[in-house]
Copies of this chain bind each other. A is one copy, B any other.
Amino acid sequence: MIIVLKPEASEENQERIKKDIESFGLKVWVSRGEFRTIMGVIGDETPLRDMPLSLYPGVEKVIPILKPYRLVDREHKGEDTIITLSTGTAIGGKEIVVMAGPCSVENRESTLKIARSVKKAGAKALRGGAFKPRTSPYSFQGLGMEGLKILKEAREETGLAVVTEVTDPRNVGLISEYADILQIGARNMHNYDLLKEVGKVRKPVLLKRGLSSTVKEWLLAAEYILNQGNNEVMFCERGIRTFEDSTRFTLDISAVPLLKKTSHLPVIVDPSHAAGRKDLIPAISKAAIASGADGLLIEVHFDPLQALSDALQTITIAEFSQLMEELRALASVLGRKL
């Protein structure tokens, strides 16, 4: 931690800062420059994080040097984390894992039909929401418990892993019994009570990026989960909110290689929510793979016109199968497989 003093800071100001920092057992050095005096802290600055050093008399600004996260950091763990699902699929290794399915679980028949089709096209996991967070209270809110049972049946029949969203800390235990991957949605990335709860179970977590979260805040959200003992977290980039309104969100493609460098955890991309329109999904999916993503999360339906939610960004099974072909060719050139 670096503390820059104001030109007018007094000796007394310096002494107070020094004394208070040293009370945490840390050492302080001082460098007097032509324009500014600078103080630095030697040692682990974590205990100082909540200390309002900027408010101390004579302080101009405080600059943290160490990163605020630790467990998710590649400096903490050098090798890639590979998450092996109970179905045997490994996420974060050589294989690119595609998770596909309807936005919401609508009924038994349609879910099973979609599950069989995406499995055939090469998907390794079935996505589908049973508990849906919706912007409007007047929109379809999901089948709840009923939906979980349908997902479980689809899992048993097809061997696909199941990814489904958890929105309420009270439901974490229940959903863990049905799902292979617990999804934390974008609107809940900052829901710390929920993060702590999924940190206590032993289920892989797919952590979507908050609509307006920086990569650093996203890493800290994952840190909440790892800090509770659950190390199997994968990031899912799904677009951030910007001024551009011709797509639903702006997919931050640079976040993919950035996360791969910064953290050891796998990175998934959700082109469907980012685009909000089906015509861009193939192009964005290819870009995601080319940028180094470990997997994709795609909304697929045999008849998007019948989908109860997110129909505009849902591709058909024929389009999905075609896309999988193209992604397979791409993966091979990139030294991966799909």
A219 to chain B, nearest CB (A): 10
Query: What are 16 inter-chain pairs, A to B, with CB distance below 8 A?
Result: A4-B65, A33-B42, A35-B44, A38-B40, A56-B305, A133-B192, A212-B241, A214-B243, A240-B242, A240-B243, A244-B252, A253-B284, A254-B284, A258-B280, A283-B291, A290-B330
Chain B residues whose CB sits within 8 angstroms of the CB of A23 once the complex forms: none
Cβ-based interface call for A227 (8 A): yes
A158 to chain B, nearest CB (A): 26
- A134, A191, A227: residue with the most chain B Cβ atoms closer than 10 Å: A191
Instruction: Find the B residue at minimum CB distance from A140.
Output: B50
Cβ-based interface call for A206 (8 A): no
Distance, CA A222 to CA B211, complexed state (A): 19
Distance, CA A227 to CA B274, complexed state (A): 29
Query: What is the size, in residues, of chain A's interface with B at 8 Å between Cβ atoms?
Result: 102
Chain B residues whose CB sits within 8 angstroms of the CB of A32 once the complex forms: 42
- Contacts A191-B187, A212-B211, A245-B214 hold; do A287 and B33 have CB atoms under 8 A apart? no
Distance, CA A183 to CA B216, complexed state (A): 26
A56 to chain B, nearest CB (A): 7
Question: A139's contact among B49, B138, B251, by CB below 8 Å, is which?
Answer: B49
A125-155: which residues lie under 8 A (CB-CB) from chain B? 133-140
- What 10 A-B pairs have minimum CB-CB distances, sorted nearest first? A52-B311, A212-B212, A257-B283, A187-B190, A290-B290, A286-B290, A287-B291, A287-B287, A168-B193, A33-B42
